[in-house]
Amino acid sequence: RSFQLDYEENCFRKDGVPFRYISGSIHYARVPRPAWRDRLLKMYMSGLSAVQVYVPWNYHEPLPGIYDFAGDRDIEAFLDLTAELGLLVILRPGPYICAEWEMAELPSLPPAYLAAVDSWLHVLLPKIKPRLYQHGGNIISVQVENEYGSYYACDYEYLRHLLGSFRALLGSEVLLFTTDSTRLEELRCGGGEGMGVPAPSCSNLPSITSTGSNVTEAFGAQRWAEPRGPLVNSEYYTGWLDYWGEAHASTRSGLLARGLEEMLQLGANVNMQVVSWYMFHGGTTFGYWSGADFKDQYKPVTTSYDYDAPLSEAGDSTKKLFAIRTVISKVLSLAGGGGQHWALLPVPGNACPEGWAALAWHCPAALSPSLSLQYANLLDVLDVLCPSEPIQSQFPLTFEAIKQAHGFVVYRTQLPRDVLDPATLGAPPHSVCDRGYVMLQQEYQGTLERDGQTTLHVTGKAGDTLDVLLENMGRISFGANTSDFKGLLGNLSLDSSLLSNWLIYPLAIDTVIQQGWPHAALPKSSSRGREGPAFYTGTFETPGIAWDTFVKFPGWSKGQLWINGFNLGRYWPRRGPQQTLFVPGSVLHVGRPNNITVLELEGAP
């Protein structure tokens, strides 16, 4: 068994025979484990011969030296399933992946970087080696770093270090590759030249990312970086990502199909991807894992990673999928390389009609449960959410300084004097990372934001309690600003006088909810209103069977949702464009109550 580059015929050779593949990206971390088989089977039925898979480091190593490969994180089970279904794998283990993932999957609390990388690779790659094609598995190639050419350093010693690690742990026969944009400078810094070894001798192939707008120009850039070998587009964008507060991104099926047909006629291997960077199936960035970009300002990415992909966020086939399938069937003969297996087989049907606006818990019938929710001001349950003593500090500390990777932290101090006339409570520019919900004597005053409002006007008495709930909206995943510290990065001031003597409460909300909170009736709130951070909890019954579905938030502002302890991610209908949260049927209970917990941050209807 072998998978190699042929620089004379400009092709791949699989077991000595010329070979081409058509692959699509799927992120197992964005798909619940019970849905893996469904999504992979639909990709296989769509004509793909391979899948491309990122491995998010921080998903598996949440704390230094603490590894998690269980449940939804069981990458070995995912890879074994791809092999069972007859799909080859192009693996992209980073260590950097981008992917609009929290801090591009780099740990937010790392020790010395290279030492951390080496430790991680020594845990991950031994799991990968037995699954390489040369050893009887289905992994045909492995990426060394990702889009490194776009990083400002252009550090060849770093790339050579990574190459040495991959070779030492995976062997000399595995085909390694890099991926960069079509900019020549990025291909120079990120590809084989940066590793100091000619591509043929290190089996390292540079590949490109592009849209379907100018295929010839894109592959011309790859030929500049590597005059010989197969043409590979590792990220052919089938759509684009969504940012909170901006219009939903989409790409026309016809444009995508024409670009694909042109590429296949050139003889290129194509990896289907979606919006912004890729995707055949984007899925959902559950919990706090959604990242952000920095383009003149901080731009957090939505919870939905639908990416206008051929398979929708819920795993349904779209018109785009059938347009792609038609092109594949035209260009590849049944006797040719990959893609022939599906010719007479239908793609499995959808659970709901395309474009169905989910308003209920049951699909396709619009049957909504009746919910009665208890209310609790977040500050009234602070002792539950932070069972340990708060951290005392003269000035605010970042999330990283207090070892809080994700979620929320409360910063508490007192007004140093009477404020009878409105005084300005302000933060230095870009020091609220990313949103701060301000309460004075438990009454909501307003929200401070990283690139938005940084001042509020308050009145009160000396000794009044000032609380700021800080929300981490996701760390930057692309560019030179990836050291994206969270929390209050500078001190707040009251009419230019710095506030001091802070109590800092790291909140363990997910742990508390997973342990069954609330175990009894919530405490009576001391707050007079329903504005500001508060929990709404209750139960509901799922009728019939547990379908995949969506939750909609008419009249709600912004917050986080849990069902049966599973963190479904951020909602923000007030800003959009995303208006619903995807609920996998595997999260729901049938025949017994489902627990629902909503953390609304600004105000419920």
Interval 258-284: pLDDT, tens: 777 776 677 666 554 322 237 999 999
Q: So what's the pLDDT on residue 313?
A: 95
156 by Cβ neighbours in 10 Å (0-12 / 13-18 / 19+) ranks as middle
- Residue written as tokens 């080696």? 129
- Residue written as tokens 């849209």? 211
Q: Which residues pair with 356 in a beta bridge?
A: none
Helix (H) or strand (E) holding 299: strand 298-300
Lowest mean pLDDT among 134-138, 363-367, 519-523, 553-557: 363-367
Residue 198 pLDDT exceeds 50:
no
302 by Cβ neighbours in 10 Å (0-12 / 13-18 / 19+) ranks as buried
Lowest mean pLDDT among 146-155, 185-194, 417-426: 185-194
Q: How many Cα atoms occupy the beta-carbon half-sphere of 100 within 13 Å?
A: 28
The DSSP call for residue 172 is: S
From the list 485, 508, 488, 536, the residue with the least C-alpha distance to 407 is 508
Residue 99 pLDDT exceeds 60:
yes
Lowest mean pLDDT among 9-23, 302-316, 451-465, 493-507: 9-23
**Residues labelled as active-site residues:** 147, 235
Please give the full DSSP string across 468-509, using - where no structure is assigned: EEEE----B-SSS------EE-S--EETTEEP--EEEEE--H
Mutual angle of helices 113-128 and 156-170, in 10-degree steps: 30
Q: Which residues pair with 315 in a beta bridge?
A: none
The residues, ordered by sequence, that sit 6+ positions from 98 with a Cβ below 8 Å of its Cβ are 104, 146, 147, 277, 477, 478
| pLDDT band (50, 70, 90) for residue 29 | very high
Residue 338 pLDDT exceeds 70:
no
Q: How far apart are the C-alpha atoms of 560 and 537, rounded to whole Å?
A: 12
Distance of CA 494 to the CA centre of its chain: 37
Query: What mean pLDDT is predicted for residues 413-434?
Result: 97
Q: How far apart are the C-alpha atoms of 238 and 46, rounded to whole Å?
A: 14
| pLDDT band (50, 70, 90) for residue 214 | low
Q: So what's the pLDDT on residue 33?
A: 98
Q: How far apart are the C-alpha atoms of 567 and 363, rounded to whole Å?
A: 21
Regarding predicted confidence, which is higher, 482 or 92?
Answer: 92
Q: Does the N-terminal peptide bond of residue 518 adopt cis geometry, omega within 30 degrees of 0?
A: yes
Q: How far apart are the C-alpha atoms of 34 and 583, rounded to whole Å?
A: 13
SS3 readout for 532-591: CCEEEEEEECCCCCCCCEEEECCCCCCEEEEECCEEEEEECCCCCCCCEEEECHHHCCCC
Q: How far apart are the C-alpha atoms of 347 and 272, rounded to whole Å?
A: 17
Q: C-alpha angle with apex 379: 376 to 380, nearest 5 degrees?
A: 55
The DSSP call for residue 354 is: T
Domains and CATH numbers, the chain: 3-351 (3.20.20.80), 359-374+511-600 (2.60.120.260), 388-507 (2.60.120.260)
Q: Does the N-terminal peptide bond of residue 346 adopt cis geometry, omega within 30 degrees of 0?
A: no
Q: How far apart are the C-alpha atoms of 317 and 294, rounded to whole Å?
A: 32
Query: What mean pLDDT is predicted for residues 92-109?
Result: 88
Question: Which tokens hold the place of 284?
Answer: 């959902």
Q: Does the N-terminal peptide bond of residue 95 adopt cis geometry, omega within 30 degrees of 0?
A: yes
Query: What mean pLDDT is predicted for residues 202-224?
Result: 68
Query: What mean pLDDT is predicted for residues 111-117?
Result: 89
CA distances from 135 to 3, 11, 132, 211, 405 (A): 11, 22, 5, 35, 38
- Residue written as tokens 């799991």? 127
Q: Which residues of 254-268 are buried (b: 16+ CB within 10 A; e: fewer)?
A: eebbbbbbbbbeeeb
Residue 576 pLDDT exceeds 60:
yes
The residues, ordered by sequence, that sit 6+ positions from 258 with a Cβ below 8 Å of its Cβ are 212
Query: No. of H helices and E strands in the chain?
Result: 12, 32
118 by Cβ neighbours in 10 Å (0-12 / 13-18 / 19+) ranks as middle
pTM for this predicted structure: 0.92
Q: What is the dihedral of CA 573, 34, 64, 570, to 10 degrees?
A: 0
Report for 126-135, 234-243, 289-298: range of highest mean pLDDT: 126-135
- What 3-state DSSP class applies to 293? strand
Q: C-alpha angle with apex 165: 12 to 268, nearest 5 degrees?
A: 20
| pLDDT band (50, 70, 90) for residue 358 | very low
Q: How far apart are the C-alpha atoms of 263 and 277, rounded to whole Å?
A: 18
- Residue written as tokens 């049944």? 334
